[in-house]
Amino acid sequence: MGRSRRALVAVLGSAALALAGALAVPGTAHAANVLSNPGFESGSLSPWSCSGNLGSVVSSPVHGGSKALAGAVTSSDNAQCTQTVSVQPNTAYTLSGWVRGSYVYLGVDGGASTWTSSPSTYSQLKVPFTTGASQTSVKLYVHGWYAQGTYYADDIALDGPGGGNSSDTQAPSAPTNLTSTGKTSSSVSLSWSAASDNVGVTGYDVYSGGNQVLSVSGTSATVGGLSASTAYTFTVKARDAAGNTSAASNSVSVTTSAGSGSGTGFKQAAPYLYLGWGDPPSATSVMSATGIKWYTMAFMLDSGGCNPAWDGSRALTGGVDQSTINQIRSAGGDIVPSFGGWQGSKLGANCSSAGALAGALQKVIDAYSLKAIDMDIENTDEFENEAVQARILTALKTVKANNPGLKTIVTFGTSTTGPTYYGNRLIEQAKSLDAGIDVFTIMPFDFGGGSDMYGNTVNAAEGLKAKLKSTFGWDDATAYSHIGISGMNGLSDQQENTTPAIWTSIRDWANSHHIARLAYWAVNRDRPCAGGGVVSNCSGISQSDWQFTSITAGFTG
């Protein structure tokens, strides 16, 4: 219904502009693109400004040249990107652009617009309009639709005569009171007081040293992709519609936190343990027998109304889960809760917005003073739902910013050669949203691994490394340091057999390539039952008690 209403506004806007044209004969627009950075070939957004800092410049997919705009739509923000330009009064113009995505809009603020749905290829949109009798500037926009996934735009043009910007040569005043409002190991949040201008400020450019790193329309921004324990100096400049740029604000120097993630040493050997079924063993007894220090506790689900509960039914605190966690910590260990899984009522799918999901995650973080959280994104309700992927990533970005030092892990399925379509999509969304994910963990089982579980696991991890390199621009070492492997001991549902010897080889490969995380499903199954099949309390093969956990404990990265 929202899209129908938006289309109606477009029709009414077109009618209003047409009426204005009927009252005064418009001038002729000479074909010249008066937009700045129309194809984003500069590699930065400026002078475009995008809501929620959700816009970014990407190298693929593009329509022309080597760059395009990506708008990482969320359930609460349509990632609208705008540019204000000077125009001549009473003159006909044509706005056009090439777009790709589900429900992408192109239009004039307060006037005409159009939209299309073209998820797999670029499609051209055109919006003719006529300026008002005294109109000298116009704000143009492109945006997606809520919860419909990232859109792309390229080669945007406004054909018509320029507005003679020489009439406004006065630059805005410099922004003041620039300060840092927060930091993590990979990001710095900034805020400042607004600048003023004789006509109007249209945006702000954020600089790190002499390099422009961000363009925003408001008076706050978060700069991501930074290195841990590193000093940065930031300034901000204001600009107006005529392209006049202010002097720089006061500078602020910030040293990012000393993180153990983002390629700076975060290592975690944490096999899954579940308490709701599968004859759960004594966590501390297994710790004593194997040397394991971390467990991934499964699963945190929705008990209704976006409220977290263990397995969706056991209270967040006060039950067997909390007592087990207390025992683990008393024995010198710790836990990372896993949200989601293959089935059940999941918070990512059920919470109505990224903000609501972040609130649910925060309840668990606060209850257990967590150092890390794992989002196990599976099945059609989360992994194969692009809107839910974006919701989860946005929520993780929020809790990471609100909890300095918190490590965020996403776990998802794979093919034998690397991420699937939806795995690639998840990684690309993480980049577009600047979600700051610390570890991308693949699950190399039930993936057609056949008899070569070592070779296919390594091939899948190498495929993930290649995708991380191409998406984030990392080198080999940095990409490996963001990788996790979560296997399945013994027999999988597809009768793939990961033996103790194979798991040892996988662990040794993980150590030699310095990946971030090694886990497996599950400690409950780390018991022998040769010929027992695929069950919840043993591996289905011949092994010794807790053998896979002992092997995993040898992961040091």
Span 456-491, pLDDT tens digits:
999 999 999 999 999 888 888 889 999 999 999 999
Q: Is 493 exposed, middle or buried (0-12, 13-18, 19+ CB in 10 A)?
A: exposed
For residue 252, the model assigns a pLDDT of: 92
Query: Which of the four pLDDT bands, split at 50, 70 and 90, describes residue 203?
Result: confident
Mean pLDDT, the chain, integer: 86
Of these residues, 41, 378, 386, 428, which one is catalytic? Answer: 378
Decide: residue 327, CB within 10 A, 0-12 exposed, 13-18 middle, 19+ buried.
Answer: middle
Quick one: pLDDT at residue 6? 27
Structure tokens at 229: 């324990």
Instruction: Give the separation between CA 147 and CA 129, rounded to whole angstroms.
Output: 29
- State the amino acid at position 465 in one-letter form: K
Share of the chain above pLDDT 90, in %: 58
pLDDT tens digits for range 380-416: 989 999 999 999 999 999 999 999 889 999 999 999 9
Q: What is the pLDDT of residue 9?
A: 29
Percent of the chain at pLDDT exceeding 70: 90
Q: What 3 state SS string does 324-336 have?
A: HHHHHHHCCCEEE
Q: If you average pLDDT over residues 89-117, what whole number do you get?
A: 90
Q: Where does the pLDDT of residue 365 fall: very low under 50, low under 70, confident under 90, or very high at 90 and above?
A: very high
pLDDT for the residue numbered 292: 95
pLDDT tops 80 at residue 138:
yes
Confidence band for 171, pLDDT divided at 50, 70 and 90: confident
* Residue 130 pLDDT: 93
Position 225 scores a pLDDT of 63
Please give the average per-residue pLDDT across 243-250, as a whole number.
87
Q: Is the pLDDT of residue 333 over 80?
A: yes
Residue 205 confidence (pLDDT): 81
Distance CA 462, CA 311 (A): 33
Quote the pTM value: 0.57
378 is catalytic: yes
User: What is the per-residue pLDDT across 17-56, written as a single tens digit (0 to 9) for each?
Assistant: 333 333 334 444 334 577 888 888 888 888 999 988 889 9
